[in-house]
Amino acid sequence: GAGVSQSPSNKVTEKGKDVELRCDPISGHTALYWYRQRLGQGLEFLIYFQGNSAPDKSGLPSDRFSAERTGESVSTLTIQRTQQEDSAVYLCASSRGGSAGNEQFFGPGTRLTVL
Amino acid sequence: QKEVEQDPGPLSVPEGAIVSLNCTYSNSAFQYFMWYRQYSRKGPELLMYTYSSGNKEDGRFTAQVDKSSKYISLFIRDSQPSDSATYLCAMSGYGGATNKLIFGTGTLLAVQP
């Protein structure tokens, strides 16, 4: 596709349930990022994938959060045992990697609401 | 203290005005500076991308970086109602290969017709 796509666009879940969010990066982009945007706050880095290298998980807020990426394609972010403080917009971005890695292109996000 | 500070606004200007948006930062190792525009309930859209100090112009938009003062600006000339959005500054390059972006909280801009 022409841009980064994410699904679902909205997700409402009950506290304690697991959720899975999906990201399809721009074709040819080797780098993929997940960010979280809480209401009234800036984007917060979660995790970074680059090719076959080990992912940078330094931004994951707890062990309830995990992410996977298959090769240079789709990524899924999983949140286990969701809590109300997990409510946020989860944004995925991709880039060509390397020195061009700072030019990150974002998807529309998944709005997660934990009741 | 946050690594990147940005006035949240809101900033309201009349159509045709020149808009100035700013961010300050504390980490002198930042090398790459970006401005994103985010419409309500949409993902951020990359507007401007600059490396190190200097100016960059693209149409009605001008980005300035002053690394000595740790201060970046985005100017919008002849502002239009369609420019009404939240503007996010972002920066990176302080080490490692991650290229993770550090964002300001965003400034909400409203251009009144």
Mean pLDDT of chain A: 92
DSSP A54: P
Q: Across the interface, do A102 and B4 touch by the CB < 8 Å criterion?
A: no
Measured CA to CA, the distance from residue B49 to residue B103 in angstroms comes to 14
Asked if residue A101 has pLDDT above 80, the reply is no
Residues of B in contact with A109 (CB under 8 A): 42-43
Q: Across the interface, do B103 and A48 touch by the CB < 8 Å criterion?
A: no
pLDDT higher for A113 or B98? A113
Q: Is residue B94 very low, low, confident or very high in pLDDT (cuts 50, 70, 90)?
A: low
B33 contacts B71 by C-beta, under 8 angstroms:
no
Q: Is A103 on the interface with B (CB under 8 A)?
A: yes
Secondary structure class of A85 (helix, strand, coil): helix
Q: How many helices (H) and strands (E) does chain B have?
A: 0, 11
Residues of B in contact with A103 (CB under 8 A): 34, 46, 49
Asked if residue A28 has pLDDT above 70, the reply is yes
pLDDT higher for A78 or B94? A78
Q: Give the number of beta-carbon pairs within 8 Å between A and B.
A: 64
Mean pLDDT of chain B: 91
Residues of A in contact with B99 (CB under 8 A): 31, 48, 95, 97, 101-102, 104
The per-residue pLDDT for A103 is: 84
Measured CA to CA, the distance from residue A53 to residue B56 in angstroms comes to 33
**Which residues 6+ apart lie within 8 Å of B61 measured at CB?**
B35, B47, B48, B74, B75, B76, B77
